[in-house]
């Protein structure tokens, strides 16, 4: 064998055989572990039971502590703080300024310090902020607390998605992400019920009316953070609730999906090249754009559904209006679980990016076409069904189309960071002068749904085209281009690696 042939063979081995690039697990045991479907299924269920419930609870109260300001508005927040004109919209916007700024830094800290510590600490922080909101008496103090709330909440959504990517295969990830992100619509439903129940109390200590909402929900959040500190573990090999064989299988499952492009470890060190490649990955950028568009709807629905309900049922009591906000979120929760489950079942996310937005578009068309309260209330069900699962698919699809752990952390952080610019836009989409029909807000959301559909269709076509283009390059030519590279250089290539293929 010539020197050149030996070099090419070395690259072939380095790029494709994950049994040999990692010496911590013997090759025979890797084969045995991966061949036992029942063992893998049992492990997956165990991870589901230990990881998903606490992550879901953290995100539930993250969303409640963010969106309960809409319930507080109905209960007298504006009057007590002397808010007029666009003060409410300004208060909502303050949150998103810090929320956007701290998104990527928070997710990189999650990788650096470990999600088992960072995620509970963030939860504790925004729980304390919620309690503090109960004691504000001016608009400026409320704005200050909302800014700090955004700092703590910024890292939770992308942090949990990144955390789950340490435990699940790419095909499994969308449904697991949906199992915690379903808490966003459930927070709208449960938050309305909880706010209604709290408002029935005469007082909580010296606090009354809307102040009780923030205080009680904040205390619950702090309790969940304490539980998370005690139960979350950074990664499979530090989980006390896994046997040694289960740790090896959990680690090998994740490693095997990137071994063909030269990745030898599951958790790599922070690397600036991979961080940048994760952010500038074409799929990451498109997912961030779609996340921005859909967040205009999702966040707007959270903040303004109580207001919309009040315009539809102006003569109902405050508690009754709170309860009317619940059913659309239940439908949104069903959609958030159903669509990602189907995407995992068929191992295809792009098709659902194309199928789901038209449902949301139908809802906003009904809003614009009719002033009948029953028609418009019915439209909120279509909007919730068509908008909530898109964010899950964005996180899952960006995670599925990067290679290393570092790139995954930065990619998910970028998607959520740029996506939340849509949340900032949503705070100004339903303006007081546009009430009660909100033609501007509804028209804007119809436009974002349409653009989401077109963007997803274009991405699907480009993905198919680029994969075919990569397939046309000869296998020998690919190996020759990699022959002079070190293992680190191969890892740093990320999606530029010749053997990389985009996932649909």
Which comes out higher in pLDDT, residue 316 or 20?
316
Helix H or strand E encompassing 476: helix 475-482
DSSP string computed for 332-401: HHHHHHHHHHHHHHHT-SHHHHHHSHHHHHHHHHHHHH---HHHHHHHHHHHHHHHHHHHHHHHHHHHHT
What total number of domains does the chain contain?
A: 1
Between 54-63, 255-264, 367-376, the lowest mean confidence (pLDDT) is in: 255-264
Q: Which of 312, 444, 311 is nearest to 383 (CA)?
A: 444
Asked, for residue 263, whether it belongs to a domain, the answer is no
The runs of H, that is alpha helices, within 17-155 are 18-21, 27-35, 37-74, 77-80, 87-101, 103-113, 115-133, 139-153
Q: Is 204 helix (H, G, I), strand (E, B) or coil?
A: strand
Asked, for residue 261, whether it belongs to a domain, the answer is no
Between 270-279, 344-353, 407-416, 470-479, the lowest mean confidence (pLDDT) is in: 470-479
CA 203: distance to chain centroid?
Answer: 35
Which two tokens mark 490? 């191969």
Each residue of 329-371: pLDDT tens digit?
A: 889 889 999 999 999 888 899 999 999 999 999 998 998 888 7
The range of the structural domain enclosing residue 245 comes to 26-256+270-496
Each residue of 147-183: pLDDT tens digit?
A: 999 999 988 988 898 888 888 888 888 888 888 888 8
Asked, for residue 504, whether it belongs to a domain, the answer is no
Is residue 95 a contact partner of residue 149, using CB atoms and an 8 Å limit? yes
Instruction: Name the band, by pLDDT with cuts 50, 70 and 90, for residue 220.
Output: very high
Each residue of 290-339: pLDDT tens digit?
A: 999 998 887 777 666 776 777 777 777 777 776 787 888 889 889 999 99
Predicted confidence (pLDDT) at residue 30 exceeds the cutoff of 60:
no
Phi-psi domain of 85 (left: phi exceeds 0; alpha: psi -120 through 50; beta: other): left
Asked, for residue 12, whether it belongs to a domain, the answer is no
The neighbour count for residue 474, using CB atoms within 10 Å, is 10
Asked, for residue 262, whether it belongs to a domain, the answer is no
Q: How far apart are CA 177 and CA 156, in angstroms?
A: 12
Q: Is 207 helix (H, G, I), strand (E, B) or coil?
A: strand
Asked, for residue 503, whether it belongs to a domain, the answer is no
Is residue 177 a contact partner of residue 51, using CB atoms and an 8 Å limit? no
Between 5-9, 122-126, 446-450, the lowest mean confidence (pLDDT) is in: 5-9
User: Which positions ≥6 away from 210 have C-beta within 8 Å?
Assistant: 71, 72, 73, 75, 76, 77, 80, 199
Predicted confidence (pLDDT) at residue 469 exceeds the cutoff of 50:
yes
Give me the sign of the Cα torsion angle 299, 300, 301, 304: positive
The residues pairing with 207 across neighbouring beta strands, listed in sequence order, are 204
Asked, for residue 30, whether it belongs to a domain, the answer is yes
Question: Span 6-25, mean pLDDT?
Answer: 37
For the CA atoms of the chain, what is the radius of gyration? 24
- Maximal CA-CA distance, the chain: 87
CA-angle at 464, arms to 460 and 467, nearest 5°:
135
Residue with tokens 């049992």: 42
Asked, for residue 21, whether it belongs to a domain, the answer is no
CA 157: distance to chain centroid?
Answer: 5
Is residue 317 a contact partner of residue 453, using CB atoms and an 8 Å limit? no
* CATH code of the domain covering residue 108: 1.20.1250.20
Percent share of the chain, pLDDT over 90: 22
Phi and psi torsions of 204, nearest 5° = -130, 100
Is residue 392 a contact partner of residue 174, using CB atoms and an 8 Å limit? yes
């Amino acid at each position: 064998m010539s020197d050149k042939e030996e070099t090419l063979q070395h690259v072939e081995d380095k790029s494709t055989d994950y049994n040999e690039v990692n010496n911590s697990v013997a090759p025979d045991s890797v084969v045995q572990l991966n061949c036992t479907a029942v063992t893998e299924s049992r492990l997956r269920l165990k991870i589901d039971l230990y990881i998903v419930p606490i992550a879901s609870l953290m995100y539930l109260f993250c969303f409640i502590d963010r969106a309960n300001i809409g319930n507080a508005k109905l209960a007298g927040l504006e009057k007590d703080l002397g808010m007029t004109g666009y003060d409410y919209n300004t208060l909502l916007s303050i949150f998103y300024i810090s929320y956007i700024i701290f998104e990527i830094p928070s997710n990189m800290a999650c990788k650096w310090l470990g999600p088992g510590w960072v995620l509970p600490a963030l939860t504790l922080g925004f729980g304390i902020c919620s309690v503090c909101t109960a004691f504000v008496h001016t608009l400026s103090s409320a704005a200050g607390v909302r800014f700090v709330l955004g700092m703590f909440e910024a890292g939770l959504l992308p942090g949990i998605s990144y955390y789950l990517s340490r435990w699940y295969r790419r095909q499994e990830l969308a449904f697991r992400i949906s199992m915690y992100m379903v808490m966003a619509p459930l927070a709208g439903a449960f938050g309305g019920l909880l706010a209604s129940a709290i408002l029935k109390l005469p007082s909580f200590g010296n606090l009354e009316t809307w102040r009780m909402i923030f205080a009680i929900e904040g205390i619950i959040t702090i309790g969940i953070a304490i539980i998370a500190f005690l139960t979350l573990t950074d990664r499979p090999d530090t989980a006390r609730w896994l046997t040694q064989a289960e740790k090896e299988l959990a680690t090998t499952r994740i490693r095997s999906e990137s071994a063909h492009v030269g990745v030898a470890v599951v958790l790599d060190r922070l690397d600036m090249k991979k961080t940048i490649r994760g952010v500038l990955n074409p799929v990451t950028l498109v997912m961030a754009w779609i996340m921005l568009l859909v967040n205009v709807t999702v966040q707007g629905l959270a903040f303004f559904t109580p207001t919309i309900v009040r315009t539809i049922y102006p003569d109902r009591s405050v508690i009754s209006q709170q309860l009317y906000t619940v059913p659309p979120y239940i439908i949104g929760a069903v959609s958030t679980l159903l669509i990602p489950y189907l995407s995992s079942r068929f191992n295809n996310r792009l098709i659902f990016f194309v199928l789901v937005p038209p449902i949301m578009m139908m809802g906003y068309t009904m809003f614009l076409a009719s002033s009948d309260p029953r028609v418009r209330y019915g439209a909120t069900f279509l909007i919730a069904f068509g908008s909530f699962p898109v964010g899950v698919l964005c996180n899952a699809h960006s995670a599925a189309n990067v290679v290393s752990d570092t790139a995954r952390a930065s990619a998910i952080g970028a998607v959520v960071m740029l996506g939340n610019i849509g949340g900032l836009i949503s705070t100004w989409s339903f303006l007081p002068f546009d009430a009660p029909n909100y033609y501007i807000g509804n028209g804007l959301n119809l436009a974002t749904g349409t653009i989401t559909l077109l963007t997803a269709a274009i991405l699907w076509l480009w993905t198919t085209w680029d994969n075919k283009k990569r397939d046309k390059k000869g296998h020998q030519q690919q190996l020759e281009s990699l022959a002079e590279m070190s293992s680190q250089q191969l890892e740093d290539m990320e999606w530029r690696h010749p053997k990389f293929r985009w996932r649909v």
